[in-house]
Amino acid sequence: MTLPYNLVMLVVDVAVIWHVSRHRSLIAWSVAMALAGAAALVLGGLFVGWDETDFGVFRLWAYGVFLHGVALLVATAVLWRRSRPILAGVAVTCATAMLLVAADAFLIEPHWLEISHWQIASPKIHHPLRIVVVADLQTDDFGPFERDVLLQALAEKPDLLLLAGDYLQAPADKYPRLKRELNEFLREIQFTAPLGAFAIRGNIDDDADWPNIFRGSGVTPILDRTSFDLGDLQLTGLPLWESLDTQLKLPLTRPDRFHLVLGHVPNFAMSDVQADLLVAAHTHGGQVQLPFLGPVITHCRIPRAWAAGLTELPGGRRLLVCRGIGVERGSAPPMRFLCRPELMVIDLVGM
């Protein structure tokens, strides 16, 4: 419904420009712009397809802000360049700022990788361990950026590799080729680590087929709740449905071992999971964060303040949520703002 939305908004643009050209008072301009903004919001809800999620609304709103909003500001500057030069300059400045935000959100940040480092100290760790978390690759085109991320994960020299779900998000006719390309690259670069590489399922991953992404690559897919004894570390991988469960109960079976629980959706952090460290993904850190407000949406049940980075939980537990590598595909606008893609490096050290 992108084209109908933009055609109707074009009519709104023309009406606003005509009104401003006839009534050049600041009040008339303010009212017209407010009505145009309201129209962009309402029409976004009306025109989004029934088969789309709320991501479709955000796509249309992005057009409303970065296309129609900028067009109206530029038109205002042209109309007021002689009668109100200061206000025309303000309109040009605002339009320029919006274009810079759009350039950052759509062209720069989605491929501006941040390698974050987190140090977790525990008396249960007798030998330092480095863990690298690759989350939400979520690509519809396995290209140089994704390949570089996987190579950088290995360049961090991890003792353990964790893949936290959501690997490919592509149409059915494109998915087999992408799966083959990702599998061949993982096998080519020998994507593994001394303590192993383990992968869990994300919410966009096909229930039956996703383990085939890792066939022959050395990565171990975790299909059901499974624990692995890795020396000082006990790793437990959760299936998707358990990571969604806010009432999950998972007792501590080895109090002498550092227990790390890996799940895709961080809802399980609100449950009775006894572990030293909980690692999750899914939120993309909100993908769009606003100053002073944080993530706009997280699509999970945890508080928004937990949607990225480290959170101290009751009982001495810690939650680390990775912002992930990719962006939401399909009907969503492929953007990030104040929320760069993240490759997470965790160093477990003794005390």
Among 139-143, 198-202, 314-318, name the most confident range.
198-202
pLDDT of residue 244: 97
- In this predicted structure, the answer to whether residue 351 has a pLDDT above a threshold of 90 is no
Based on the number of CB atoms within 10 Å of its own CB, is 229 exposed (0-12), middle (13-18) or buried (19 or more)?
exposed
Q: Which of 53-62, 274-283, 301-310 has the lowest mean pLDDT?
A: 53-62
Sign for the CA dihedral angle at 222, 224, 225, 226 comes to negative
- In this predicted structure, the answer to whether residue 54 has a pLDDT above a threshold of 90 is no
φ, ψ (nearest 5 deg) of residue 288: -125, 120
Mean per-residue pLDDT over the chain, rounded: 93
φ, ψ (nearest 5 deg) of residue 130: -110, 125
pLDDT of residue 53: 59
pLDDT tens-digit series, residues 225-253: 999 999 999 999 999 999 999 999 998 88
- In this predicted structure, the answer to whether residue 333 has a pLDDT above a threshold of 50 is yes
- In this predicted structure, the answer to whether residue 50 has a pLDDT above a threshold of 50 is no
pLDDT of residue 51: 45
Q: How confident is the model at residue 297 (pLDDT cuts 50, 70, 90)?
A: confident
Say if pTM beats, i.e. exceeds, 0.85. Answer: yes
Mean of pLDDT values over 283-302? 90
CATH pick for 114-349 out of 2.60.40, 3.30.720, 3.90.1010, 3.60.21: 3.60.21
| Domain parsing of the chain, residue ranges | 2-109, 114-349
Q: Is 299 left (phi over 0), alpha (psi -120 to 50) or beta?
A: left
pLDDT of residue 327: 93
- In this predicted structure, the answer to whether residue 96 has a pLDDT above a threshold of 70 is yes
CB proximity list for 82: less than 8 A, separation 6 or greater: none
Nearest to 319 by CA among 256, 249, 255, 270: 270
Residue type, 124: K
Mean of pLDDT values over 191-212? 95
- In this predicted structure, the answer to whether residue 38 has a pLDDT above a threshold of 50 is yes
Counting residues of the chain whose pLDDT is more than 90, the rounded percentage is 77
Q: Which of 18-27, 189-198, 204-213, 229-238 has the lowest mean pLDDT?
A: 18-27
